[in-house]
């Protein structure tokens, strides 16, 4: 018996140590960094643009000398009836099988987003290779342009987009939404989702603004170089794109959600209305308090903010109690205006509950919510939202007044 068992054991070990069945070596994989989803010109088809890593280019940057950095990625376009279909069709051009686990960025074009994203996103949540931590961005225009755009700092543009999103806390004028958060908002019956908005700004345009003429040979060779820029947020009604928020409105959304991390608030100097003062946001938090009285729903948004005097351009010492108080009030007004702007758009223009007000009511008043749930779509535009801003200024930096300011 014992010998038999040993024999079984040895045979089993053979099975267990022979390696993986479907092994995939690094040199047989095309590692996708970013994908863009567009509508294909053919009817009802999807165009998939994938940014595939070129490991060799990343490894040896010095080899090319002063020729300018070679692209670290290769952009591949394929079409298909579904996303999965398009992925597999890409293998017709790529000698390697597309590998999805490292995808950092998913960009969806405006056109696709307007038609609804639920059908698109199924694959990304079902397939085991992808993780829900990829960033989701909506392109104003074509997603392909975003995927093709280059970045001066990073060899892999996808990494640049990722950094753009993660670094956006410095202004709080963009949203950081990954697939996981987006799907959570989409699944929630009361809440409507939002995502980052990204667009292409041709370098030519920026250079014109700087009053410089582009060198003629260069622009002929490469055409205007494309640069991507985060420009706010895309707001959805259920799974369909309803509209865009610009940057201050996006910060308004972040105020309500308590997601403001840092940023600059620009106010006019209390002494000299032509000059600006920059107040740095140090920390902020928010509370959404729903109330129901006689069937009337009111939402109170309480925002607490703490800031520092970061910079001022007026010719006066602002570090007096009167001026500081005045700055605090101006600061609160700016915050209130930003919140009011996003509330107006969401409530009156689109009727999309991106703030989770309905969810807050559901959690606090489950019984009343049962009645409210069905008509929430229309009810949301009607409810009263009170905004309370408690904002304070704490510190003023290393000097009190600009050099040479007259004392009062």
Partner 1 sequence: MLEDGRITDRQFMLLIIVSRLILSLTYLPALNSPPENQDVWIAGLLSFPVHLLLAVPAYLLAQRFKDRSIIQSAELILGKTGKIIGALYVWFFLHMTALTLRQLSCYLTSVPYPETPAPVFIIVTALFAALAVGYGVETICRTGEIMTPVVMFSIFVVIILIAKDMDLKALAPMLEKGIAPVLHGALTIAARTVEILFVTMLLPYLNQPGTAKKAMAWGIFFFIFFFTIITVSIITTFDVEQAINRTFPFFSTVRLISIGEFLERIDAVHLGIWILGLFIKISIYYYLTALGAAQLFNLQDYRPIVLPLGTIIVSLSVLQAENMVELREFTSYKVWTWYALFFITFLPLILLVVAVLRRREVQAR
Residues that bind partner 1 (CB under 8 A): 1, 5, 8-9, 11-12, 15-16, 20-22, 128, 131-133, 180, 183-184, 187-189, 362-364, 366
Return the bridge partners of 50, or none. 35, 76
> What is the C-alpha separation between 287 and 274, in angstroms, rounded?
35
Q: Enter the tokens of residue 279.
A: 């107040």
Which CB, 15 or 65, lies closer to partner 1?
Answer: 15
Which CB, 1 or 403, lies closer to partner 1?
Answer: 1
Which CB, 268 or 364, lies closer to partner 1?
Answer: 364
Which CB, 178 or 352, lies closer to partner 1?
Answer: 178
> What is the C-alpha separation between 348 and 342, in angstroms, rounded?
10
What is the smallest separation between the CB atom of 12 and partner 1, expressed in angstroms? Answer: 4
Return the bridge partners of 32, or none. 52
What is the smallest separation between the CB atom of 101 and partner 1, expressed in angstroms? Answer: 8
Which CB, 21 or 403, lies closer to partner 1?
Answer: 21
Question: Tokens 């351009």 identify what position?
Answer: 313
Angle CA(185)–CA(189)–CA(192) in degrees, nearest 5? 45
What is the smallest separation between the CB atom of 16 and partner 1, expressed in angstroms? Answer: 6
What is the smallest separation between the CB atom of 129 and partner 1, expressed in angstroms? Answer: 9
What is the smallest separation between the CB atom of 250 and partner 1, expressed in angstroms? Answer: 22
CB neighbours of residue 153 within 10 Å: 8
Which CB, 183 or 385, lies closer to partner 1?
Answer: 183
What is the smallest separation between the CB atom of 1 and partner 1, expressed in angstroms? Answer: 6
Which CB, 19 or 68, lies closer to partner 1?
Answer: 19
Sheet holding 263-268, edge to edge: 263-268, 276-293, 296-312, 384-395
What is the smallest separation between the CB atom of 399 and partner 1, expressed in angstroms? Answer: 36
Return the bridge partners of 288, or none. 301
| Phi, psi of 236, rounded to the nearest 5 degrees | -110, 150
Which of 257, 247, 229 has the alpha carbon at shortest distance from 341? 247
Asked if residue 168 lies in contact with residue 111, where contact means CB atoms within 8 angstroms, the answer is: no
- What is the H or E stretch that residue 286 is in? strand 276-293
């Amino acid at each position: 018996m014992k010998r038999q068992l040993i024999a079984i054991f040895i045979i089993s070990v053979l099975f267990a140590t022979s390696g993986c069945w479907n092994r995939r070596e690094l040199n047989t994989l095309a590692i996708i960094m970013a994908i863009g989803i567009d509508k294909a010109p053919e009817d009802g088809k999807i165009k998939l643009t994938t940014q595939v890593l070129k490991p060799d280019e990343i490894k040896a940057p010095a080899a090319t000398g002063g020729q300018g950095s070679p692209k670290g990625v290769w952009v591949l376009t394929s079409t298909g009836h579904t996303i999965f279909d398009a992925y597999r069709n890409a293998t017709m051009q790529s000698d390697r099988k597309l590998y999805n686990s490292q995808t950092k960025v998913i960009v969806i074009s405006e056109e696709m987003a307007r038609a609804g994203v639920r059908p698109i996103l199924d694959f990304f949540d079902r397939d085991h290779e992808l993780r829900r931590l990829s960033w989701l961005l909506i392109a104003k225009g074509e997603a392909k342009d975003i995927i093709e755009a280059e970045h001066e700092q990073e060899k892999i543009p996808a990494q640049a987009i990722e950094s753009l999103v993660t670094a956006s806390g410095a202004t709080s004028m963009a949203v950081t939404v990954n697939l996981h958060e987006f799907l959570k908002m989409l699944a929630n019956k009361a809440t409507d989702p939002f995502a980052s908005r990204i667009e292409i700004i041709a370098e030519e345009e920026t250079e014109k603004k700087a009053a410089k003429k582009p060198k003629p040979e260069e622009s002929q060779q490469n055409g205007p170089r494309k640069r991507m820029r985060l420009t706010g947020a895309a707001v959805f009604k259920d799974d369909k794109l309803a509209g865009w928020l610009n940057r201050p409105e996006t910060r308004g959304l972040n105020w309500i959600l308590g997601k403001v991390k840092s940023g600059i608030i620009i106010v006019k100097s209390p002494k000299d209305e032509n000059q600006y003062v920059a107040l740095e946001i140090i920390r902020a938090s928010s509370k959404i308090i729903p109330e129901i009285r006689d069937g009337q729903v009111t939402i109170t948004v309480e925002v607490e903010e703490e800031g520092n005097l970061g910079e001022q351009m007026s010719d006066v010492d602002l570090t007096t109690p009167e001026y500081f108080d005045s700055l605090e009030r101006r600061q609160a007004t700016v915050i209130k205006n930003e919140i009011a702007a996003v509330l107006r758009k969401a409530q009156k223009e689109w009727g999309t509950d991106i703030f989770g007000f309905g969810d807050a009511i559901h959690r606090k008043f489950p019984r009343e919510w049962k009645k409210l749930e069905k008509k929430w779509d229309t009810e949301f535009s009607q409810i009263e939202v009170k905004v309370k801003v408690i904002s304070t200024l704490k510190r003023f930096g290393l000097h009190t007044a600009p050099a040479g300011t007259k004392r009062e």
